[in-house]
């Protein structure tokens, strides 16, 4: 399969998942009635969808996928069975969900966000897997390369160029010297983003101040450690951070620190600016 990189991962259903579902019928000869049925996409298909957690950005991926499938003739409750499970932010639960999905043997599995995608990819090499809301699929070991994975896995990357985001922060805060970065050290997307941020910012005389948080409940405390030390707090698409963004926004507001994000879903939840 080919891995497609896209800024808007909710579009994955249209181009990739639909083709997978059409292909799942096999190569057996079709009767006239079967041919007519296939032409209207009436054959029942099943997909399993899992997300590491539920929050607006990831919910939009799931909803966008279902809408794209419906526009291609695969409608939930009619000719499409959908099984959705959230891991509620727990990687161990993500692994359990992945194993259950493989046992259920759906036509395809959609994995939203890196931890869920990693769990599903580790659980099957035969069922088609489509990932989304993943920033670094190669670093996360979902696929060996971005152009034609050669496996049962395909998907969409939500990677954004960090250079223009640093430039915009400098426009908004010309005196910026220290940028705080709240992130989950266990999420590969975030650790890669941190590494790349440092590579871009440090040559410009800007220090990236780390504030790691092992779990969602640690986000506020990690953000609090930045008060008085940074000129702005920047957040990426880290799922633990996004899931508790209100707590982060509260700390930033009380500490009078501008809070900016690359995720547009958080503007109404505490972010001062959205940079994507």
Quote the pLDDT of residue 156: 86
Quote the pLDDT of residue 135: 87
* Average pLDDT over all residues of the chain: 83
Domain boundaries, the chain: 45-157, 162-274
pLDDT 10s digits, 29-52: 444 444 444 444 457 999 999 999
Q: What is the mean pLDDT of residues 247-258?
A: 91
Q: How far apart, in whole angstroms, are the C-alpha atoms of residue 219 and residue 10?
A: 27
Q: Whose structure tokens read 């099957």?
A: 124
- The structure's pTM equals 0.75
pLDDT 10s digits, 88-132: 989 999 999 999 999 999 999 999 999 999 999 999 999 999 999
The CATH homologous superfamily of the domain defined by 162-274: Response regulator (3.40.50.2300)
3-state SS string for the chain: CCCEECCCHHHHHHHHHHHHHHHCCCCCCCCHHHHHHHHCCCCCEEEEEEECCCCHHHHHHHHHHHHHHHHCCCCECCCEEEEEEECCCCHHHHHHHHHHHHHHCCCEEEEECHHHHHHHHHHCCCCCEEEEEECCCCCCCCCCCCCCCCCCEEEEECCCCHHHHHHHHHHHCCCCCEEEEEECCCCHHHHHHHHHHHHHHHHHCCEEEEEECCCHHHHHHHHHCCCCCCCEEEECCCHHHHHCHHHHHHHHHHCCCCEEECCHHHHHHCCCEECC
Let me know if the fold of 45-157 is the same as that of 162-274. Answer: yes
CATH, domain range 45-157: 3.40.50.2300
Q: Which of 67-81, 214-228, 250-264 has the lowest mean pLDDT?
A: 250-264
């Amino acid at each position: 399969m080919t891995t497609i990189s896209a800024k808007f991962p909710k579009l994955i259903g249209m181009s990739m998942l639909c083709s997978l579902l059409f292909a799942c019928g096999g190569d057996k000869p079709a009767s006239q009635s079967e041919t007519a049925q296939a032409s209207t996409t009436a054959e029942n298909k099943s997909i399993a969808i899992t997300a590491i957690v539920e929050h607006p950005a990831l919910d939009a991926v799931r909803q966008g996928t279902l809408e794209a499938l419906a526009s291609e003739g695969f409608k939930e409750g009619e000719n499409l069975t959908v099984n959705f499970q959230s891991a509620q932010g727990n990687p161990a639960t993500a692994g359990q969900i992945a194993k259950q999905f493989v046992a259920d043997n759906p036509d395809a599995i959609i994995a939203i966000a890196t931890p869920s995608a990693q769990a599903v990819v580790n659980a099957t090499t035969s069922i088609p897997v489509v990932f989304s809301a993943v920033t670094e699929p190669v670093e996360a070991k979902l696929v060996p390369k971005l152009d034609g994975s050669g496996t049962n896995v395909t998907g969409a990357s939500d990677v954004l160029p960090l250079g223009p985001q640093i430039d915009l922060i400098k426009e908004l805060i010309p005196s910026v010297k220290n940028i705080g970065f709240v992130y989950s050290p266990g999420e590969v997307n975030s650790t890669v983003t941190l590494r790349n941020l440092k590579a871009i910012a440090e040559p410009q005389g800007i220090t990236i101040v780390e504030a790691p948080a092992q779990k969602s409940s640690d986000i506020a405390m990690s953000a609090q450690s930045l008060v008085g030390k940074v000129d702005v707090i920047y957040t990426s698409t880290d799922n633990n951070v996004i899931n508790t963004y209100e707590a982060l926004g509260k700390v930033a507001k009380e500490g009078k620190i501008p809070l900016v994000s690359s995720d547009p879903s958080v503007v109404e939840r505490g972010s001062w600016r959205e940079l994507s």
